[in-house]
Amino acid sequence: MIRPFPSLGLLDRVFPILFPGVLFLLLNGCASVSYYSQLASGQLQLLRAREPVRQVINDPSRDATLRAHLAQSQKARAFASEHLHLPDNQSYRLYADIGRPFVVWNVFATAEFSLTPQNHCFPIAGCVAYRGYYSQSAARGEAAIQRLNGMDVSIGGVEAYSTLGWFNDPIINTMMGWGDERLATLIFHELAHQRCYVQDDTEFNESFATFVEQEGTRQWRAFRGLPADNASRLKQRDQFIELVLGTRSRLETLYAQPLPAEQMRERKAAEFERFRRDYRALRDRDWNGDKRYDAWVNAPLNNARLLPFGLYDQWVPAFARLFREVGGDWSKFYAEVEKLGRLPMAERKVALKALAESQSLSG
C-alpha cells in the first residue's frame, strides 16, 4: 500500500539545519573539510530538487514521456514492497531533476600491483572501496592526484545511490535513460541497500543488492506476464563477468610473487592482453560478433577498472543459493542475510564461499 505523500521524515525536514554541523563534528582530524563539504552540499541539492512523483504525473505541462516513465516506475515501486518485501516508505515515490547525467562519480584506486581497493571510511556508511564526488571535474582532479602517487585509477559515473533510509531517496533524472525495466531494477537494487547493509563490507552489500535486483526483475517480469529476460543476453553478461573475474584471479596470483617491478609490469600488461584475446575469441565464437562490450574492453585497462566487478558480483551465487535454501521466501531470505551480516568478517566470507560453491555444484 502506498503511503500518503506528506511525511518526508524528521531527518528530511531538519537536514538543511543540522547536517553540516553534525558532519563536521563526526570528522576526524585528518579528514578533508572540502571533500565533506561537497558531500553535504551535493546531498542538500538533491533533497531540494525533490517533488512528489504523483505531482509530476498529474501535471499536463510536464514532458509526456517523463510522465509515462514515472507512472510505470510507481508500479514497480509498489511491487518492490508488496512482493519483494522491500521497505515501504517515500523513497522512489519522489522525483528530482539535477540537470546532469550522473548523480555522483566514484573514484576507485589501487596500488600498481594490487587489487585491494583504497578504502574510505564515513560516519554513516562505514568503509567503502571508492570515493564519491558530485562534480565530474572534482572526481577527475582526485584521480589525477592518485595517478601522480603511482596508483591505478578508474572513474565511474553512478546513476543512483542509497542513503540507507536516512532520507527519502528520489528517482533521479540520471535513472531515466535506460527504459522502464532498467529503472525498476535500479529501484530494487537501491531499496535492497535500505533493507540490509553491513558496515565495511562493500562486496557483501553490493552482491546482495545485485541479487535482489536480478531476482526481483525476474519476478517483476513474471508478474506482468512477460517471458523471462533474453537468455542469450544474460549468458553473455555472465560470461563476460567470468572473464573479468578470471583475469582478477590471475593478477592476484601474479602480484603475490616476489618479482622486480619492471618484470611485474610486463606480466601485468600480458594478462590484460590475454583478457582482450579471450574476450574477442568468445565474442566471435559464441556471440556472433556482438560488440556490446568492445568499448569497455578496448579502453585502457588497469587494476582499478576491474574493481567494480568483484564488488558487485562476487557473492551473487551465494545469495542465489541462500534464496533457494529458504524456498524463495523473501522474509526468510532477509532474516538469513541479516544473520550473515552479524558474523565477523572472516566467518562471513567462509559462509559465503561455502554457499557459492554449493550453488556452483548444483548448477
Choose among 105, 110, 102: nearest CA to 139. 105
pLDDT at position 235 is: 87
What is the model's pLDDT at position 111?
Answer: 97
The one-letter amino acid at 24:
F
**How confident is the model at residue 308, as a pLDDT?**
84
Q: Tell me, what's the pLDDT at 20? A: 39
> For residues 322 and 337, is the Cβ–Cβ distance under 8 A?
yes
pLDDT of res. 15: 40
> What per-residue confidence (pLDDT) applies to 123?
64
Q: Please tell me the predicted confidence (pLDDT) of residue 233.
A: 81
* Alpha helices (runs of H) in 290-329, residue ranges in sequence order: 294-298, 303-313, 316-325
* Residues in the chain with pLDDT values less than 70: 1-31, 123-125, 310, 363
Residues 308-343 as b or e (16 or more Cβ within 10 Å = b):
bbbbbbbbbbbbbbbbeeeeeebeebbebbeebbee
What's the confidence (pLDDT) of residue 217?
96
Instruction: Check residue 147 and give its pLDDT.
Output: 97
| pTM attached to this predicted model | 0.83
